[in-house]
A and B are shown apart, each in its own frame.
Chain A
Amino acid sequence: MIQLENIIFLIVAGLGIGLFVWQIRKIRKNILIGRDVELADNPSERINKTLLVAFGQQKMFKRMLPAVLHLFVYVGFLVINIEVLEIMIDGVFGTHRVLGFLGPFYDGLMAVNEILAALVIIACVIFLWRRNVTKVPRLATGVEMRAWPKMDANVILITEIVLMFALFAFNIADLKLAALNNHDLPGSFPVSSAFVDAFGSDAGTLATIASVGWWIHIIGILAFMNYLPSSKHFHIIMAFPNVYFSKLLPKGKFTTNPAITHEIKAMLDPSYQPPAPELDVDGNPIVQRFGAKDVEDLTWKQLMDSYTCTECGRCTSVCPANITGKLLSPRKIVMDTRDRMEEKGEHPAIFAPNHYKELGVERVQITDEKTLLRGYITPEELWACTTCNACVESCPVNIDQLSTIMDLRRYLVLEESAAPASLNAMFTNIENNGAPWAFPPSDRFNWAEDLYVPSKN
């Protein structure tokens, strides 16, 4: 029967979902600040990759302990959502455990749910321990790991624990009430039945606990959902499209700028006719910067990368520059991109950008320029990259940190001629001698002089 409670639920759920949709529209708008790039080729390979890397968590298993713990939370999230669906239906229609008609399947589902919920609690406690007590370096250090990202991680873990406890409170009270009333509760509850007497046997108290547990769980989920767009936890949604649209080409293949190709061809051959430039909505030719200075110069995929980042620091922990104490941290590049994008575009409910200057991070010599380059990311960081692809390889959600680093570098060189002097010397050598060193091209074949091999007979 539908009562006042159900109407309140409907309003709360409607508000929660509405707010979430509103935030998602902002995120979408932000991602579309980026340049267009065609990434829809080869759908079957993309689906395969998504199944392996996103659904299958393939790259997580490079590090066993966090992979297993994360798997508990991930599978728990997937399976427990079936119960959330039931909660929603119960909430709207005033039913009670509406999926109970599934019989043995429902028994199994509830049992798996309970075991997973217990594992989620254990995993989250260990995660909190790793972050706050043992302080695993990749999680606890780095200029980009300022107050907000650290708190964000703790908020998520504590919320997940609270949600699981609310679920148990609801199940325990429900189970005890059923026993008191002598009727069978659909489902099987291996964890809750062990604690079935935890709340005593007063029917009124139990009914309140069941109801409070139920409400905390569902309001918690709605609140958590709306927290996602402001949080690194957004990866639970973004990981899937981000892996789907990730690079299928060899990691060593960097992008080629066709605008430059046309310029060179026209230079070499005066009769060459470059194609007409693309026009914007007002019919004016779109003038594109070479390389990237700010977020609008990056592609939508590079911006999507930044919304997918879980700030786990695997990339930074394998970066040769970072390992040897250079300022470069691939995670910082991705987090800065997101902060700059939200500063420039729209921002979700909770907005906490990086302002290294205000935070007193002196090592990052940013300027007051309102751009990604120099306003957030310094040339020193960009020049420390060896383009070794270790960051790209390590990312569990297929973020391409290197492509962003390269586009920012290109801007420095192509638009500002701001390469380090030694690299400018290398450019000059290539231009003049066809080699990065100052050797005369006529000496190129000298290596072949006085070369012998044993004769076969």
Chain B
Amino acid sequence: MEENKRLVKVPTMAEMAANGEEPEVLFWVGCAGSFDDRYKRVTRAFVQILEHVGVKYAVLGTEESCTGEPAKRAGNEFLFQMQAITNIEVLNAYNIKKIVTACPHCFNTLKNEYPDLGGNYEVIHHSTFLQQLINEGKVAVQGGEAFKGKRITFHDSCYLGRANDIYEAPRDVLAALDADLVEMKRSRANGLCCGAGGAQMFKEPEPGRKDINIERTEEALATLGTGNGVIATACPFCMVMMSDGVKNKEQEETVKVFDIAELIAQAEGLSR
């Protein structure tokens, strides 16, 4: 099999600019996608898809920095704007027009909050990007793992769903897997948060009866029923919270948490 695969050299903006080239789209990796061991696998899966379909993309590499989103949600508007203004200088210097990201928090901030500070880009979330690739037939969703009949439930990210009204794109992507898609009672606009938004990811929860991710995981497990199943997410924070929830419920042998990009990469046979 060794000869059937090739090493990917992920292109950076610095290299592209040096060669006088411009990418079709900048892949904004985000902090979780860069540093979190679990979410790095999502980043890699998404890059495999980009490489597979031959999109001309680039990343900022070490020039990328936090969008400032967690600082803003935590009330630190000053730190947020420091980050945003610095990032915008970098993005504008590279003449970036279009950005795709696998993180709904980065997505929301880049798309909605950067324009006020001088950063105007077409920003799309990787769920929409994947939906387009599938619709255009660039990703056939075959050749890899078969998902037919597998039970999958999609957990809505607040910053994708309610914050930006994107409910169908991730579901369309999952529908391409031909799996048995089941909806939780609280879904789409009525979806229940995983508990990590608003900078909760970085602090202990306030005193209460239970943790929010446990409440949500219980709902997901009840929806999937017994046997093997997948909780699909489209956000690094939801990924952490749902994975922790599944572990807490000691279901990690039967229920897996995957990002939609990972599922597509698996189905396309890219992550063997």
Contacts and interface: CB of A to CB of B under 8 A. Distances in A.
Interface in A409-438: 409-414, 419-420, 422-423, 425-427, 430-431, 434-437
Contacts of A389: 158, 162-163
Given A264-B81, A414-B76, A436-B31, A455 B5 contact: yes
Interface string A435-457: 11101011111111011111100
Given A414-B76, A430-B70, A320 B61 contact: no
Nearest to B158: A388
Interface in A348-394: 380, 383-390, 392-393
A58 to B, nearest CB: 12
Given A413-B74, A413-B76, A452 B8 contact: yes
Nearest to A438: B35
B205 interface: yes
Nearest to A455: B6
Contacts of B193: 320, 386, 388, 390
A273 interface: no
Interface stretch (A8-16, A68-76, A250-258): A250-258
B4 A454 contact: yes
A392 B33 CA distance: 29
B156 to A, nearest CB: 10
Contacts of A249: 112
Given A447-B44, A454-B272, A412 B62 contact: no
Interface in B170-224: 189-193, 195-212, 214-216
Given A451-B8, A454-B272, A430 B108 contact: no
B34 interface: yes
A291 interface: yes
B52 interface: yes
A328 B62 CA distance: 39
Interface string A197-223: 000000000000000000000000000
A257 B78 CA distance: 9
Given A385-B198, A430-B83, A414 B204 contact: no
Contacts of B158: 386-390
A443 B81 contact: no
Contacts of B145: none
A192 to B, nearest CB: 43
Contact of B77 (A252, A290, A383, A450): A290
A434 B76 contact: no
A135 interface: no
Interface in B54-102: 59, 61-62, 64-66, 68, 70-79, 81-83, 85
Interface of B: 3-8, 10, 12, 29, 31, 33-36, 40, 43-44, 47-48, 51-52, 59, 61-62, 64-66, 68, 70-79, 81-83, 85, 108, 111-113, 116-117, 158-159, 162-165, 189-193, 195-212, 214-216, 269-270, 272
Interface of A: 62, 249-254, 256-257, 260-261, 263-265, 268, 290-291, 318, 320-321, 323-328, 380, 383-390, 392-393, 406, 409-414, 419-420, 422-423, 425-427, 430-431, 434-437, 439, 441-448, 450-455
